[in-house]
Structure 1
Amino acid sequence: MQHLSGMDRARSALERGERFPAGLLPELVAESWQRCRDIGLDPNATPREEVLPFAQVRRKREETEGLRRLALAEMQLLYSQIAGSNFMIALGDASGMVLDTISDPVFAESAAGRAIIPGSRWDERNRGTNALGLAAMAGQPVAIYGREHYFASHAHLSCMAAPIVDSHGRVLGLLDASCANEARQQHTHVLVRMAAAQIENGLIFQECPESFILAFHPRGEYLDTLSAGLLAISRDGVVAALNRPGIALLAGLPAAAGSHFQDLFDGDFGRTIDTLLNGGVAAIRDQAGSAVLMVCRQIGQRRPRLLSATTVPVRGVSQAGARTPDFICEDEGLRQAIADLPEAVAMQMPIHLTGETGTGKELMARHIHEVSGREGAFVAVNCGAIAEQLFVAELFGHERGAFTNARHEGSAGLARAAHKGTLFLDEVADIPLAAQTALLRFLDSMEVRAVGGQHSHKIDVQIVSATNRDLRELVAARAFRSDLFYRLAALTIALPPLAVRTDFALVAQHLVQKLAPGTAITDAAIALLRRRAWPGNIRELRSALQKALIRGKGGFIDEAALDDASQERASATACPACRQNPLASRRCSEIRAIFAATEGNISATARQLGLSRTTVYKHVAEERPLREEGRP
């Protein structure tokens, strides 16, 4: 008989209704499995996917506004730490209902990602053994890996959750990171626990603006870490709040709100505060006789203030990471289009960029300059902004007095300014026909002669051109020289419209970080944005996000921060039954988008989304005619 692993034996016992062999499962998991079995859950059945109405989600968000603001900032930081791991970070309330998510786009589009949405409940009765529900029940950090989940359909996931508690030990919310089991990362559990601790510290700063906040620890090097105790105390020495490390460090003492400083520490409160306010470190003993070092982290304010997670003591871990690229390029078509760039610039091939306005042509041109490794400057020329009679002089320079209104001292020209660098000819379709001949001659010889000059100068430049117009049509209309077109377009890169890019979520996240570093944008907000048409492409999206940052005064962007018009446009893509519920419209719009992409094929849509054909039909029933696979 083939030897079975411990997990195989445990799963076999679960599915047969037998007693679980001792020692095969963590105690919390075994107890959870038994509770699930006792209420009659079938481990091979489909979990009950209960999603509460959006009104309840909104109400719970309002009730936990301070927690949510701090949590979303921490979720964004956690996202940056484990980005690229096929994961989702979720904030839940104390019962295990999801309030917000921030995801890796790959995970967000998976079946699991579509199940972990605002309003979804993850208690044991609905979802069986899972980290979010178990952490809510046990009040402690929990990791559930793969087949430790009760339902077999969750076996491909690894989930890590930690409760967020207040100074009274009450669970206020839950932080969860879920990832594909094959991408399982043990260290993620540690990061989730650290993020929860940082939120707890942030809540003390946020809720005690009029208190002194003191950090203490037996070792000075730990005063700036999450291991330090935090003590919020009034000007009279009365304790307002303590964090969990502080309670642990003062074990055996009355470490709770309402006690007095001198109930905890063997020292005069007034003299200690005087030392701390002078910027010193107080060496003091607690009432149990243990020596600690203490510093002041906040001098009490007279008025409440809103704090972000970044105002509390920094973590005892490096947050340095790889430098953020200047643009996102994870769309497969775009990646293939630029795959040959290194070879092209090595051969000094002219590169032509096409795409609608706002698709990032100049950003791509600057990237080409970086790829080339050229030591010279990147010189951009807006060909449509130069008067026809001055175009050649601006590009190739002119001698003193060469023509009326010429610069008194003459000009070397933009082409010579780009020597050893890159010359970017933007809006190249607007080059006057008369000037096209001079440009073609330059491209053939790489020599420039200033207007009114006698001598030519050999230069070395990488040529990049761009336009949002179809040069082939202009050639056919004899508005653009065919020989110049072929010279410029040795390699053509077409930048896709934003609306069809598969990396839309990454683009949105990247723009938010460029506009307001550290600001979170939720998956629900991205889902609403994704459904817009975006005729202005990335430029328009940037403007929309700037507006959302102004509206979203909490330091994050969610559905409420988006303008009403965008929400109306988003809901318009859903079926009539889902239009009034932003949560339901997210899935509905996705189903209808895939349905349209498969040309009305219900079976293909169901396969692609992992749904039943009945579910798909419910959302597209009014879309006629419908087409089944194999039928015309």
Structure 2
Amino acid sequence: MQHVSGLERARAALEQGGRIPAAAVTPLVAESWQRCRDLGLDPSGIPRDVVIPFGDVRHRRDANAVLRSLALAEMQLLHTQIAGSNFMIALADADGVVLDTISDAHFAESSVGRSIIPGSMWGESERGTNALGLVARERQPVAVYGREHYFNCHGHLSCMAAPILDTNGEVLGLLDASCSNEARQQHTHALVRMAAAQIENGLIFREKPGNFIFAFHPRAEYLDTLSAGLLAVSGDGTVVLVNRPGMALLAGLPAAHGVHFDRLFEAGFGAAMDGLLGGGIIRVRDRAGSGVFMVCRQIGEGMAMRSKTRAAPSLPTLISHPEEPDFVCEDRLLKRAMAELTEAAALRMPVHIFGETGTGKELMARHLHKVSRRKGEFVALNCGAVPEPLFIAEIFGHERGAYTNARDDGAPGLARAADGGTLFLDEVADIPLASQTALLRFLDSMEVRAVGGQKVHKVDVQIVSATNRNLHDMVKDRAFRADLLYRLNAITIKLPVLSERSDFPLVVQHLMKRLAPQTAITDAAIARLARRAWPGNIRELNAALQRALIRRQTDYLDEDSFDESDEDAVIDCCMSCLDNTLSRRRCSEIRTTYRQTGNNASETARLLRLSRTTVHKHIR
């Protein structure tokens, strides 16, 4: 509590123009406050929001391309390590100009989050005392907590930053994590420092591909940690560079560019190489008499000798989890729907899910099955993909020889397969009128009799139906039975289109974790994607991310990874769908997929899980 009261006394002195009490804040913060005072900044005022033109941002990004590539990978890792803390991770160049951000969606929408964007400047003259500005000046890791910030409006913010140094010890860039959650401050500060050190080591491997790189440390188990020294040497044993931990381990020795390996270690370069190139760990003494373990981590490009070395970073491969049932649900409307689903499952109420193609109707149905804790199977049927004469047999089963081409041993039907579980009727609007009566009778009695059979089976099935068509309009047109509709929609869940979801950034990040979990995607890229219409919803977004991953030339995705020509694309649809937004988007997806499959209606129907009749209706 003494620190808190001391900080408050210091704040009062700052805002009243008095002398700041000694030891109330750290010397680093006190000196920064005084510099801000000297600049005439008002701690109760509003900081200057300075953002350079985006053309200049591009130039700065190009000038720091290698740094940016390595940093974004580390930022992605940081994003997973401190997830849930309402935070933002930022990369800035040596001048304190922000180049990229990766953030928690809630923080990105805050007032501070909206000001930490590519091109924004975070020096003391613009933003007062803050971690980015201090690191750019002091060239050392800095944390600024809460009201240690000069401006009152930043008092709820905690910022932790570290410099990224090049092989000559010059500042290349700055890495910052800012959050409003103070629970993990010390932990986060350590992670930021580690990430900066990892980037520095990565720069050594990127910048010295033609040299041997040795790792060394007094303890063998530390050779793969950030505390290990890295030593880059040429083919004749001349030292090219030593990283910061290496300089500390070789303190008192002439560890500098141009010095020969033999001046640092008692073992001659040739003798050391004999052991190192075998892929093993050797023990040597430095010229100060300290023993260290050493291993070869890289053999220079073009060297005749080869051994087991650390592979150079490569682009992450795409991975797929086609059956993964989780999905993002932070949108307000979806949260309400999820709560209703849980209650509906407990009461065994039939649930109807309404939403456009690609909004996640089946995912929601599978979630209902999961929360119902039913022991039976989840059984799905695309009602539009079953020929009308076979619809009843598909659900209720059939006996041997019940109809032409019937299976010789009969079939139990999907309703019995779902006994004790969930029967999901997708595209329920496509159920033939003649079959709707039989389905209604089943829903009332939960009794199944196979086609051609006499025996009746009682089943316990949770019914979930889904469609992207308005069933009430179909009832008016006598295309759907009213009594069946009221039996199916005891509770109706409406899924919002992707372009209207408030949790769009989380959806993008979730899909990226499934497709390529090690690949970073920047906030600027997500903002660009959010401006598009997405007539195909999540399915279309997933495809766009896959295309960007396949085409990318770097190991991250930014706003330049996505094709501008797609953003303002005109929605293509047939004449009968022009006046209805829902139908227009659905029709556009069908026609687009039809062209992509080389005008193959059957393949289009299979990909979109529609009937060929539906496809033909929209492509005429």
State the TM-score, normalized to the length of structure 1.
0.84
Q: Do 2:215 and 2:223's aligned partners in 1 also have CA atoms closer than 8 Å?
A: yes
Question: Which secondary structure does the structure 2 equivalent of 1:338 belong to?
Answer: helix
| AA at the equivalent of 1:226 | L
CA distance in 1, matches of 2:569, 2:108: 22
Partner residue in 2 for 1:443:
443
Distance in 1 separating the partners of 2:48 and 2:78: 29
Q: Is the 8 A contact 1:146 1:181 kept in 2?
A: no
Three-state SS of the structure 2 residue aligned to 1:380 is: strand
Q: Secondary structure of the equivalent of 1:340?
A: helix
Instruction: Give the match for residue 266 of structure 1.
Output: 266
- State the alpha-carbon separation in 2 of the partners of residues 450 and 245 from structure 1: 76
Shift in Å at residue 29 of structure 1? Answer: 1.0
Query: Counterparts of 1:38 and 1:253 in 2: how far apart (Å)?
Result: 43
Matches within 5 A, 1:499-538: 499-538=499-538
Structure 1 residue 276: Cα displacement = 2.7
Q: Specify the alignment match of 2:544 in structure 1.
A: 544
Distance 1:425 1:453, change over 3 A: same
**Which letter does structure 2 place at the counterpart of 1:217?**
H
The 8 Å contact of residues 70 and 199 in structure 1, kept in 2 or not, is answered as yes
For residues 399-418 of structure 1, the aligned pairs below 5 Å read 399-418=399-418
The reply to whether residue 558 of structure 1 matches residue 558 of structure 2 is: yes
- Structure 1 contact 105–506 (Cα < 8 Å) conserved: yes
Deviates more, 1:42-51 or 1:135-144: 42-51
Tell me the equivalent position of 2:606: none
Q: CA deviation at 1:309?
A: 9.7
Change (3 A) 1:426 1:328: same
Residue by residue over 1:236-276, the C-alpha shift from the partner in whole angstroms, topping out at 9 and shown as x without a partner, is: 22223322212211112222333222222221223323323
User: Shift in Å at residue 305 of structure 1?
Assistant: 9.2
CA offsets 1:534-591 (integer angstroms, 9 cap, x no match): 2211111112222222343211111111111246689xxxxxxxxxxxxxxxxxxxxx
Distance, in Å, in 1 between the alignment partners of 2:236 and 2:419 is 70
Alpha-carbon offset, residue 74 of structure 1: 0.9
Name the structure 2 match of 1:106: 106
Shift of 1:331: 0.6
**Paired residues for 1:351-366 under 5 Å:** 351-366=351-366
2:91 and 2:98 in contact (8 A); partners too: yes
**Residue-by-residue CA offset, 1:187-212 (whole Å, 9 max, x unaligned):** 11111111111111111122222323
State the alpha-carbon separation in 2 of the partners of residues 151 and 309 from structure 1. Answer: 42
**Superposed CA offset, 1:447-470 (max 9, x none):** 222211221223333221110011
Mark the runs of 5 or more structure 1 residues left unpaired by the alignment.
Answer: 312-323, 571-632
Q: Which aligned pairs between 1:107-126 and structure 2 lie closer than 5 A?
A: 107-126=107-126
Q: Secondary structure at the match of 1:346?
A: helix
1:277 aligned onto 2:261: no
1:152 and 2:158 correspond:
no
1:301 corresponding residue in structure 2: 301
Q: Judging changes above 3 Å, is the alpha-carbon distance between structure 1 residues 373 and 274 closer, same or farther for their aligned structure 2 residues?
A: farther
Amino acid of the residue matched to residue 161 of structure 1?
Answer: A
How far does residue 403 in structure 1 lie from its aligned partner after superposition? 0.8
Tell me how far apart the structure 1 counterparts of residues 474 and 513 of structure 2 sit (CA, whole Å): 39
Q: Does 1:255 align with 2:287?
A: no
2:14 aligns with: 14
Paired residues of 1:69 and 1:308 also in contact (CA < 8 A): no
Cα distance change of structure 1 residues 153 and 563 upon mapping to structure 2, 3 Å threshold: same
* Distance in 2 between residues matched to 1:364 and 1:181, nearest whole Å: 31
CA contact (8 A) 1:209 1:305 kept: no
Which moves more between the two structures, 48-57 or 151-160?
151-160
Whole-angstrom CA distance in 2 between matches of 1:376 and 1:199: 50
CA contact (8 A) 2:315 2:555 kept: no
- Are the structure 2 counterparts of residues 462 and 3 from structure 1 closer, same or farther at C-alpha, using a change threshold of 3 Å? closer
**Residue pairs, 1:329-478, within 5 angstroms:** 329-478=329-478
The verdict on how the C-alpha distance between 1:457 and 1:383 changes in structure 2, with shifts beyond 3 A counting, is: same
Range that drifts further, 162-171 or 237-246: 237-246
TM-score, length-scaled by structure 2: 0.85
Task: Give how far 1:15 is off.
Answer: 2.4
AA aligned to 2:259 is S
Distance in 2 (alpha carbons) for counterparts of 1:91 and 1:484? 57
**How far is the alpha carbon of 1:92 from its aligned partner?**
0.2
- Once residues 156 and 108 of structure 2 are traced to their aligned partners in structure 1, the CA distance between those partners, rounded to angstroms, is 15
Q: Deviations along 1:353-392, whole A, 9 cap, x unmatched?
A: 1111110111111222222233333221110000000111
Do 2:240 and 2:257's aligned partners in 1 also have CA atoms closer than 8 Å?
yes
Which amino acid in structure 1 is aligned with residue 355 of structure 2?
Answer: G
How far residue 136 of structure 1 moved from its aligned partner, in angstroms, is: 0.8
Amino acid at match of 1:292: V
CA distance in 2, matches of 1:272, 1:442: 81
- The aligned amino acid for 1:275 is G
Q: How far did residue 407 of structure 1 move?
A: 2.1
How far apart, CA to CA, are the structure 1 residues paired with 2:433 and 2:203?
66
Deviation sequence 1:309-362 (CA, Å, 0-9, x none): 999xxxxxxxxxxxx972100011111111133332233222211111110111
Structure 1 Cα separation of the partners of residues 203 and 272 of structure 2: 24
1:573-610 superposed Cα distances (whole Å, 9 cap, x missing partner): xxxxxxxxxxxxxxxxxxxxxxxxxxxxxxxxxxxxxx
1:186 matched to which residue of 2?
186
Query: How far off its partner does 1:415 sit?
Result: 2.2
Corresponding residue number in structure 1 for 2:214? 214
Sort the Cα spacing of 1:367 and 1:212 in 2 relative to 1 into closer, same or farther, 3 A.
Answer: farther
Check conservation: 1:145, 1:181, Cα contact below 8 A.
Answer: no
RMSD: 2.4
